[in-house]
Amino acid sequence: MSGDHHASSAISERVRHVEALLEARGLVDEGEIDRRIDEFLAGGSPANGARITARAWVDPGFRDRLLTDANAAIREVGLSMAGGLQEQRLKVVANTSEEHNVVVCTLCSCYPIALLGPSPAWYKSEAYRSRVVRDPRGVLAEFGLDLPATTRITVWDASAESRYMVVPRRPEGTEGMPEEELAGVVTRKGLIGTAAV
């Protein structure tokens, strides 16, 4: 993260120093870290998560593989969680009529950028990160998602090693829609669990 990415803060100076050491020792080429970050961010989009969800809705075998080993399954559609020097672990969870899943990172804002694009500001906010764990039903209601009292809500806490994505329930009336059209009904909020789809 060299060049214009850094302000003049002490942390920025330390990052640049470590970067220079890595370059001097031949562990990375000059500018390689910047290029990798730019490539990673350029490929990240909620359309990727929507594609995965649509495939899971139309292909039960893919859905099973996705819920069992998401990292392997997303490679089937040409995607990966390899955003840096090592692949992040991806766990995909599916909403059902009995259970609704929602994702948070209580420590910072860990998030599957490759599948959902850059994280929304509210996801990174302290208010969301602290409240969704204590009062998930209340937070979801603030997003406009009122779930029946009988629906169990599971909150998944992302970390530096693991990322989560939700497969929303397939909306009624979408039977027979082609996969590409189904992807168009999926939202980033649905993939995080703060919306129905």
pLDDT digits (tens, 9 = 90+) for 121-140: 999 999 999 999 999 999 99
Q: Taking the alpha carbons of 168, 121, 11, 17 in that order, is the dihedral positive or negative?
A: positive
Mean pLDDT of 18-31: 87
Say if residues 195 and 122 touch (Cβ distance below 8 Å): no
Decide if 97 is catalytic: no
Mean pLDDT (whole number) for 109-130 = 92
Query: Which range (8-17, 61-70, 74-83, 152-161) has the least confidence?
Result: 8-17
Q: According to the model, what pLDDT value does residue 1 have?
A: 33
Is residue 100 within 8 A of residue 192, CB to CB? The reply is no
Active site residue 162: no
Asked whether the predicted pLDDT for residue 8 surpasses 50, the reply is no
For the question of residue 108 being annotated catalytic, the response is yes
Q: Is the pLDDT of residue 94 over 50?
A: yes
Which residue is associated with the tokens 């829609």? 177
**Which residues make up the CATH 3.90.330.10 domain(s) of the chain?**
44-192
Catalytic residue among 2, 45, 80, 109: 109
Q: Please, is 109 exposed, middle or buried when counting C-beta atoms within 10 Å of its C-beta (0-12, 13-18, 19+)? A: middle
Pick the CATH number of 44-192 from 1.10.510.10, 3.40.1190.20, 3.90.330.10, 1.10.357.10: 3.90.330.10
Residue stretches of the annotated binding site: 105, 108-110
Mean pLDDT of 18-25: 88
**What does pTM read for this prediction?**
0.80
From CA 179, how far away is CA 11, in angstroms rounded? 46
Half-sphere exposure of residue 42, counting CA atoms within 13 Å on the CB side? 6
* Percent residues over pLDDT 90 in the chain: 68
What are the structure tokens assigned to 38, written together?
A: 């730019």
Confidence class for position 2, pLDDT limits 50, 70, 90: very low
CA dihedral in degrees (131, 123, 66, 114; nearest 10)?
A: -160
- pLDDT tens sequence across 140-172: 999 999 999 999 999 999 998 899 999 999 999
